[in-house]
Each structure stands twice: as structure tokens, then as C-alpha cells.
Amino acid sequence: MSLPKDFVWGFATASYQIEGSPSAGGRGPSIWDTFTHLPNKIKDNSSGDVATDSYRLWKEDIALLKSYGVKSYRFSLSWSRIIPDGGRNDPVSEDGVAFYREFIEELHRQGIIPFVTLYHWDLPQTLHDRYGGWLNKEEIVKDFVNYAKVCFTSFGDLVQNWLTHNEPWCVSVLGYGRGVFAPGHTSDRTRSPVGDTSTEPWIVAHHLILAHAYAVKLYRDSFKASQGGQIGITLDCSWFMPYDDAPENVAAAERGLECRLGWFAMPIYLGHYPPALKAMIGSRLPTFTPEELSVVTGSSDFFGLNTYTTHIAQEGGDDEFNGKVKTGFTRPDGTELGTQAEVPWLQTYPDGFRELLKYIYKTYGKPIYVTENGFACRNENIIPIADAVHDKDRVEYYQGYTNAILEAIKDGAEVKGYFAWSLLDNFEWAEGYTIRFGVTYVDYSTQKRYPKDSAKFLSKWFQEQIPA
């Protein structure tokens, strides 16, 4: 069995994680620029000020993609590079637009299809200061839609594949609940003087959904006919596998998927919040007006999925953001689910990936693009480069997960694309530079790139699987 001829594959990145050059071309600060310069917010007290220097080395990045034989590249635009102050009445940066336009044109020259994410967590700081950013529905939805309009107008003749948000769960929960991501809001006063974990994440999530939906409406109403593209959103979720056959654990796994993924997917694809979530959150969960709901429902042409692992689910958790499901990696017999990554939340388990793809297609009925999937090898940051490029555990991960795509398609799921995370080792948010997810090793002292065995594996595998 092979993949469909029109299957797209490649690698993914995000602007703040790779670009650096935070003020070049008049770029304004984002909430991540601010957050990373606060003490003790990032594990190694680093920032994305330089990252992989891709604002300057972008031609090298595209040459690398070309050498890997990819069909596509998923990257994000920096809102504050395009509109430095972010707002609908603020000036657009000609330099910022020109930078991305030249970048996208070069992708086309190299035969690489751009998949463009509008928002990968880097809100312009001015909007956060001006009116509270994602907490202010009236302002943020209009400003995001305006930003989307600038992008559709500036790049839409070259871009047929748009994503509005990357992982709104992370924006809502990690940024406004746990306080570990920008802007760092949380009820934990040892971490932040501001924030209310019981309410803010639900409000922010609601506004993210609305901003997404109204940007999609704009695209469909004013750009789709002439530009011929598609637009959707990327949601993140792990597979939830019951700990055993006990009815309460089977129910917990189902509830975990419904609350964790369905929080965003159910309104967007089915037109309502998950019943289990409504029962759990009650009046703290905002409601859509009839007009809003008509715009939200069906507001994604496909299902963008970021997924990395499987969690073994048991009844008895207390985390609302996880559906009050207890999760882990240890089976009843004491064995672990799979190979452990450098990060505690990730183990290899390709069978769970296959099940998640089947579940999403059956539940939401849209073609799936896997927009992120990857693995962080243990100790990769402390061993010599000559050893790190032989990333055996990452190769094993990709062997299993790529085969799981074939199995899921054989089972009836419509999977149309796959983007490995990430093209490059880069700035990994709260972890800084302490972990590496790249298929290309980056020596941060020289910015030299070294292909790893995983890049070679993926290049060979997809070239063998997709008919010429």
C-alpha cells in the first residue's frame, strides 16, 4: 500500500521559534519577546532573540527543505512583523510583508507548497497592553480578522493552504491557566500577580474560536473564489487509551477526548461545546450568540492535527483542562507504553496515533492534515554532534508513526498530509534550548545545520510511498 499521489509531506516550524531578529524591519515586540525576558520563565533563561537565525538564514532553510525532497513546508507568520502594533488602525510594515512574500516566492521556485499558519502564539505586545489581548472579545476578533485580511491580500495569490491558529488549547491553558506560556496569567501567585485560572482559559478559548471563525468567513466571502485555497485550524490532542476494561476507565478515556479535543473541535465542526465539558464547567463556559454560532459551525475545510503521544486514561483526575482524567504511561502490568522522550509527557506509541486518526475522521468527517508530529531524544543536547545526528529513537518513532498513517488510511481515514516537527532544533518555548525536536541538528554557536538520520529516513520513506 502507498500514499495517495496528492499527499503532501514536509516539516513544520513557527516564527518565534526560528526567526530571531526581533526588531529587524520594524518588527514590534510580541508577548513572547516580553515573557522570555522576565526572570525564571524559561528553563535556561533563554529567548528567541536569535533562535536559529532564520530571518537571515531563510535561503539556507529552503535549500535544506529542497535537499530533503519535501513537497510542502508549514511555517507561521509573525503578526508583529507584519503589523508591528497589531491593530486594525495600525500601519502595516512594508518590510515585513516583503520579507514573507520573498520567502514564499522562493518556496514556489523550489517546488515547495506553502502551508501558512497565521497565529502560532506570538500576539503583538501592544494589543495585550492596549486592551488585554485575547481576553477582550470586541477588540481582538476585529484585530485578528484585519491581520488575516492583510495576509490574504498580501500572499493569497501564492498561498492555497491557510491555518488560522496553532493549538488554541495551549494558548488558553498554558498562557492563561497554568502561566507557563506567555503572557503567563495564572491564579498561582508564586508565578504571576495576575490571572484567574478558573475563568480566563475558557474566555480566551472562546475568543480564539470566534477569531478563527470570522477570519475563515472573511476568506470564504472575499478571497476563496479568486484565490482558490482552503482554510482551517490546527488542534492538538493525544490519544486517550483506557487503562483497562473497567467501565469507569473506558468512560474516562472517552471523556478525555471529548473535553480535551472537543473543547475546540466540537464547536468548529459540530456546532456545540462538548456536553461533558458543559456539565463540568457550568456557567464558567461562555456561550455563543446564534449569529456567532452560525459563523463558528463548519468553519474549517479540513482537520489540522498536532499529535505526539498516547496517554493511558483512568477515572479520578482533577484537571478540568484534561476532562478530569488521570493520565500516565504505565500499564496495569507495570510496563511502560513505549520509548521515553527527553520530555516527560512523550512516549512512542504508534498504535495510538492510528486510533486517533480513525477517531477524528469518524467523529468530525473532515480530511486530516497532521500538521505536527515528532520526538525529542534523550540527552541529545549534551552529547557530541557526531553522535546526536544518529538519532535512533527518533527514527524508531517516525518508522512507527509513518506506518500508522498507512494503517489508518487502510482503515478508512482520509489523511491528506503530514508535517514532522521540526525542520530544525529550535527555541522550545518554556524549555528554551534544553531539548531538541529537529530532524536537523543546529549548533547554536555557529548556526550550522547538520541533517540527522531521521531526516534521511523521512525523505526516503515518503519518496518511496508517494507515486511519482
Do residues 346 and 308 lie in contact, with contact meaning Cβ atoms separated by under 8 Å? yes
Helix ranges restricted to H, 297-391: 350-364, 385-388
Asked whether the bond before 23 is cis by omega within 30 degrees of 0, the reply is: no
**Residue percentage of the chain with pLDDT more than 70:** 100
**Closest CA relative to residue 230, chosen from 299, 167, 181, 326:** 299
Do residues 378 and 341 lie in contact, with contact meaning Cβ atoms separated by under 8 Å? yes
Do residues 117 and 25 lie in contact, with contact meaning Cβ atoms separated by under 8 Å? no
Helix, strand, or coil here: 328? strand
User: Rounded to an integer, what distance in angstroms lies between the CA atom of residue 104 and that of residue 113?
Assistant: 9
Residues 154-195 have pLDDT tens digits of: 999 999 999 999 999 999 999 999 999 999 999 999 999 999
At 431, give phi and psi (nearest 5°). -85, -10
**Residue percentage of the chain with pLDDT more than 90:** 99
**C-alpha dist (Å) from residue 181 to 36, 42, 163, 259:** 9, 9, 21, 21
Burial of 382 (0-12, 13-18, 19+ CB in 10 A): exposed
The identity of residue 426, as a single letter, is N
Average of per-residue pLDDT values in the chain? 98
At 285, give phi and psi (nearest 5°). -85, 115
Do residues 239 and 310 lie in contact, with contact meaning Cβ atoms separated by under 8 Å? yes
Which of the following CATH numbers is that of domain 8-465: 3.90.190.20, 3.30.230.10, 3.20.20.80, 3.40.50.300?
A: 3.20.20.80
Tell me the average pLDDT across 209-232: 98
Residues 46-55 have pLDDT tens digits of: 999 999 999 9
**C-alpha dist (Å) from residue 271 to 14, 203, 294, 320, 336:** 29, 18, 8, 21, 38
Residues 279-309 have pLDDT tens digits of: 999 999 999 999 999 999 999 999 999 999 9
The bridge status of strand 448-451 relative to strand 440-443 is antiparallel
User: Rounded to an integer, what distance in angstroms lies between the CA atom of residue 396 and that of residue 458?
Assistant: 11
Task: For the full predicted model, state whether its pTM sits above 0.95.
Answer: yes
**Closest CA relative to residue 184, chosen from 16, 19, 432, 430:** 430
pLDDT given for residue 18 in this prediction: 99
pLDDT given for residue 444 in this prediction: 98
pLDDT given for residue 468 in this prediction: 80
User: Rounded to an integer, what distance in angstroms lies between the CA atom of residue 355 and that of residue 60?
Assistant: 37
pLDDT given for residue 1 in this prediction: 79
Residues taking part in catalysis: 372
